[in-house]
Chain A
Amino acid sequence: MANRRCFQTATRYLQSIKSLTAFSQSLPPTSTHALHQSLTTKPSYHIYDNNFNNLYAQSARFTRHFSSRPTDSEDDDDDDDEEDYESGEEEEGELGSEDESANLSAEDKEKDAAEIGYTVIGPLQKSDRVFKPYEPVFAVVQIGSHQFKVSNGDTIYTERLKYCDVNDKLVLNKVLMLGSQTQTVIGRPVLPDASVHAVVEEHALDAKVIIFKKKRRKNYRRKNGHRQELTKLRITDIQGVEKPEKITPLKKEKKENPGKVAVGA
């Protein structure tokens, strides 16, 4: 992540230098009154949802370890971070078909897991015009536990997002802040109406990191390699802020000028 992130911050710095010069001199007002009331309810609902999932998962895991259940051996292979969801999914999967992997058993639980990772999967894109030219608007987005300050056309490297393939459209729900030339919107903590659209560019592995441990004079030496799984996202759109008006291109003005000169002459 370190190597790719350095390059990414360098490109973003150059882009932001361009954006600084275009800023107008008027100070932006902050619109926070309406958001505060609506946002106090949302975190409490989210915490309730988490507890419910955890309780269900704990009860499911206790029943799985009994020797009377014949299909325990298939379920022991799944570990990873999202154990809570997969244990609930496996119970339903056993009742249905045995060959399905734990991910595909319940679409609702997939969506819950994706929402807690703060991504929502849209349909696959084919011949959609999603890539717009650069707009001087930024958003602060949270994915998992990492926050990113993104703008149109940026690429970010996040932890590997499950339940999405390459060329999938994502909507990132957890937007903490928006800013443009005329407006700054600060969420407490999240902005409910804002959304950031992104497209999954690739599922890649990070550069190899060598983990070397040694204790001197004790004959202990270990060497391991590690490649972290990443997802590269390209940000396509930011919604929820006033965007600056587009300036008409210069080509039209050039065509008008020779016409005026001819009339004058």
Chain B
Amino acid sequence: MNKKEVFKLAKGFRGRAKNCIRIARERVEKALQYSYRDRRNKKRDMRSLWIQRINAGTRQHGVNYGNFMHGLMKENIQLNRKVLSEISMHEPYSFKALVDVSRSAFPGNKAAIPLKKEGLAILV
């Protein structure tokens, strides 16, 4: 029952694309093509999101993403970006330890003093 499958996949589509088979079949095929492409894009998007989060976390401590990753690579720390972003969100003290390790391995930021002291940085 191909029509049945098509209408099942066409749930939530706009206008006649969910009701009329000729239009639904076209839209469903396009949707499946997009999902094939986007399964590959999702990996890129997630990595980009992790990098943004790590960048935000390290800049709170006065280090930017590039120098932070360079310091970690020098110290042979093989944590990947997914896990680093999770640590930066949920384990702030452990993340500060990582940033300190990276800063000691590769100095080159604003003399280890962040400009605006907000939140955790006040305790430093």
> A-side interface residues toward B, CB under 8 Å?
2, 13, 16-17, 19-20, 23, 25, 27-28, 30, 32, 39, 138, 140, 142, 147-149, 176-177, 179, 184, 186-189, 209-214, 221, 223
Q: Please, which residues of chain A bring their CB within 8 A of the CB of B80? A: 147
Q: Which residue of A lies closest to B75 (CB)?
A: A188
Supposing A25-B123, A149-B86, A184-B97 touch, asked if A212 and B75 sit within 8 A by C-beta, the answer is no
Contact A186 B83 (CB under 8 A): no
Q: Please, which residues of chain B bring their CB within 8 A of the CB of A138? A: 91, 94
CA distance A223 to B33 in the complex (A): 10
CB of B39 closer than 8 Å to a CB of A: yes
Contact B101 A149 (CB under 8 A): no
- Contact-residue bracket for chain B: 20 to 34
> B-side interface residues toward A, CB under 8 Å?
29, 32-33, 35-36, 39, 42, 75-80, 82-83, 86-87, 89-94, 96-98, 100-101, 123
Contact A186 B98 (CB under 8 A): yes
Give, as a whole number of angstroms, the nearest-CB distance from A191 to chain B: 11
Q: Please, which residues of chain A bring their CB within 8 A of the CB of B39? A: 209
Contact of B90 among A20, A147, A176, A223 (CB under 8 A): A20
Give, as a whole number of angstroms, the nearest-CB distance from A47 to chain B: 14
CA distance A50 to B97 in the complex (A): 33
